[in-house]
Amino acid sequence: MEKNKLQAAGTGADPQKAIALVRQENQRFAMEAGRARRAFVLTFGCQQNEADSEKIAGMAQAMGYEMADAPEQADLIVVNTCAVREHAEKRALSTVGQYKHLKAQNPELVIEMCGCMVSQEHRADEIKHRYPYVNFIFGTSALQTFPALLWEWMNTHRRIFRSGAEETSVAEGLPVRRESGYRAWVSIMYGCNNFCSYCIVPYVRGRERSREPEPILEEIRALVAAGYRDITLLGQNVNSYGKGTAAGWDFADLLAAADKIEGDYILRFMTSHPKDAGKKLIDVMAASTHIAHQFHLPLQSGSNSILEKMNRRYTAEKYLETLDYLREKMPDVTVTSDMIVGFPGESDADFEETMKMIDRAGFDMIFSFIYSPRKGTPAARMENQVPEAVTHARFDRMLERQNAIGLEKNRELVGKTLRVLCDGESKNDPASVCGRTEGNKLVFWRGDPAAKGSFVRVRITGAEPFALQGELQSD
């Protein structure tokens, strides 16, 4: 990969200088053109990427850009990519392909790609050779170099490819432009050390590193003071939070401290890894004031032999122990999971084990994925890749069974009155408003969309596999 000229600036360096330089240039443009430059940020992938995009938008705003609603109106387009499955990569590439004609119409348009997909060398090379209208790219660990790279591009018009893979620092204090005024992401750690054999994340997000607790707590305090009601702490494996920090806290310590912050808010976290989601954490949750009784605990497979090939380092039995303890301490807990169907070598018998676990676990909801081989991961080199037709049939069976279980779980809530954070008018049914329960379940009711961003009480009157209906309570 090409080395850019701003090595001296370093990704750990303060981006403020570059932000000021770009802002000056954008002010000059605005004086001449009679309008501010506009930026458009498009995000693929998980919450981690959404959180990163809010920082990209925050930096763009600090550099004097206004936010555009559509790529056609933009002077700067940033595409933040995902690599977790092939489908995510294809979507990002085809979207960027469509931007070629925008560049033809407006040669001044700057197109930039970042995130997990372009953190892979083979994809960076592909962009370099097949997408010549992409001006610069930077990897996930080089997020804070965005202003410096943009400034360099403005001055040299030389394409820049910056992986940032060598970076191990944690950037604090970047500007953030949050999408919502009442739900917020707070990244507490970056990267992953687990190397599950199917997963690209450790390769594209680098080694695990945690923020110190104090800046995290400070961020949560500021969010609560600003009226945020639903705060999610983010990391690929939050249970191993704290390693290498000066404070030496673990995740349960961090949660317990965060829970002491006074205010009217819900605290959530994701994602937990079953191998180290321990009793201490569950005890802290059960005793807390603000932590939602909600747990996302990805199982991936119910077969111990597949779990071993996945390098997950727990068994189905160990998983159930954690689940049982969780329900013992919090009988009202909502539990969701991730499942992969068609991992290499998954036999009919392995899949039956998974189906048994789905019945036994009684998840409120699962996110199920068809296995997608990722270049460079051990699983992609394994023999016995499962034929597509078999995988699809298994996937459909799993979904059908889980939908029935999800519906049963939701029916148990009928007649109960729940605290719900209102999200305003429903997109699908403008006559309804919608919101999320503490368990993060979607609820629809007739009411005033002006309650958006506030907690309301809703009595549940109906259930579907993925949603609830209710009536607003006026108490």
Interface ranges with ligand SAH (CB under 6 A): 84-85, 198-199, 201, 236-237, 271, 273, 298, 300, 338, 340, 369, 371-372, 374
In the complex, what is the shortest distance from the CB of residue 322 to ligand SF4, in angstroms, rounded to a whole number? 15
Residue 319 binding result from ligand SF4, ligand F3S, ligand SAH, none, given CB thresholds of 5 to 8 Å by partner type: none
Among 108, 231, 197, 162, smallest CA distance to 380 is for 197
Sign of the C-alpha dihedral computed for residues 346, 348, 349 and 351 taken in this order: positive
DSSP string, 213-239: HHHHHHHHHHHHHTT--EEEEE-TTGG
Residue 202 binding result from ligand SAH, ligand SF4, ligand F3S, none, given CB thresholds of 5 to 8 Å by partner type: ligand SF4
Residue 195 binding result from ligand SAH, ligand F3S, ligand SF4, none, given CB thresholds of 5 to 8 Å by partner type: ligand SF4
> Any contact of residue 46 with ligand F3S (CB under 6 A)?
yes
Looking at the DSSP bridge assignments, the partners of residue 470 are 445, 460
216 vs 11, 190, 338, CA distance in Å? 20, 13, 27
The smaller minimum CB distance to ligand SAH, of residues 367 and 466, is found at 367
> Any contact of residue 273 with ligand SF4 (CB under 6 A)?
yes
The smaller minimum CB distance to ligand F3S, of residues 377 and 437, is found at 377
Under rule CB under 6 A, how many of the chain's residues touch ligand SF4? 10
The smaller minimum CB distance to ligand F3S, of residues 199 and 299, is found at 199
Looking at the DSSP bridge assignments, the partners of residue 460 are 470
The smaller minimum CB distance to ligand SF4, of residues 135 and 271, is found at 271
389 burial (CB, 10 Å; 0-12 / 13-18 / 19+) is exposed
Say how far apart CA 413 and CA 238 lie, in whole Å. 29
Say how far apart CA 55 and CA 39 lie, in whole Å. 13
Sign of the C-alpha dihedral computed for residues 384, 387, 393 and 395 taken in this order: positive
The smaller minimum CB distance to ligand SF4, of residues 203 and 249, is found at 203
Which amino acid, one-letter code, is at 236?
Answer: Q
> Any contact of residue 45 with ligand F3S (CB under 6 A)?
yes
> Any contact of residue 116 with ligand F3S (CB under 6 A)?
yes
Residue 116 binding result from ligand SAH, ligand F3S, ligand SF4, none, given CB thresholds of 5 to 8 Å by partner type: ligand F3S
> Any contact of residue 48 with ligand F3S (CB under 6 A)?
yes
Could you give the 3-state DSSP secondary structure of residue 373? Answer: coil
Position among 194, 336, 372, 402 found at the interface with ligand SF4 (CB under 6 A): 194
The smaller minimum CB distance to ligand SF4, of residues 176 and 310, is found at 310
* Residues counted in the chain: 475
Could you give the 3-state DSSP secondary structure of residue 26? Answer: helix
The smaller minimum CB distance to ligand SAH, of residues 147 and 406, is found at 406
Say how far apart CA 336 and CA 108 lie, in whole Å. 46
Residue 49 binding result from ligand SAH, ligand SF4, ligand F3S, none, given CB thresholds of 5 to 8 Å by partner type: ligand F3S
122 vs 87, 376, 471, CA distance in Å? 17, 10, 53
Helix crossing, 279-287 with 316-329: angle to 10°? Answer: 20
Q: Which stretch binds ligand SF4 (CB under 6 A): 43-51, 69-77, 142-150, 195-203?
A: 195-203
Residue 371 binding result from ligand F3S, ligand SAH, ligand SF4, none, given CB thresholds of 5 to 8 Å by partner type: ligand SAH
Say how far apart CA 153 and CA 161 lie, in whole Å. 11
> Any contact of residue 210 with ligand SF4 (CB under 6 A)?
no
In the complex, what is the shortest distance from the CB of residue 209 to ligand SAH, in angstroms, rounded to a whole number? 15
Instruction: Give φ, ψ of 49 to 5 degrees.
Output: -70, -35
> Any contact of residue 367 with ligand SF4 (CB under 6 A)?
no
DSSP string, 63-125: TTPEEPSSGGG-SEEEEEE--SSHHHHHHHHHHHHHTHHHHHH-TT-EEEEEETGGGSHHHHH
Say how far apart CA 435 and CA 416 lie, in whole Å. 16
408 vs 121, 226, 366, 463, CA distance in Å? 46, 38, 14, 9
The smaller minimum CB distance to ligand SAH, of residues 372 and 437, is found at 372
In the complex, what is the shortest distance from the CB of residue 153 to ligand SAH, in angstroms, rounded to a whole number? 31
Residue 372 binding result from ligand F3S, ligand SF4, ligand SAH, none, given CB thresholds of 5 to 8 Å by partner type: ligand SAH
The smaller minimum CB distance to ligand SAH, of residues 259 and 276, is found at 276
In the complex, what is the shortest distance from the CB of residue 47 to ligand F3S, in angstroms, rounded to a whole number? 8
Residue 45 binding result from ligand SF4, ligand SAH, ligand F3S, none, given CB thresholds of 5 to 8 Å by partner type: ligand F3S
> Any contact of residue 205 with ligand F3S (CB under 6 A)?
yes
Interface residues with ligand F3S (CB under 6 A)? 45-46, 48-49, 82-84, 116, 200-201, 204-205
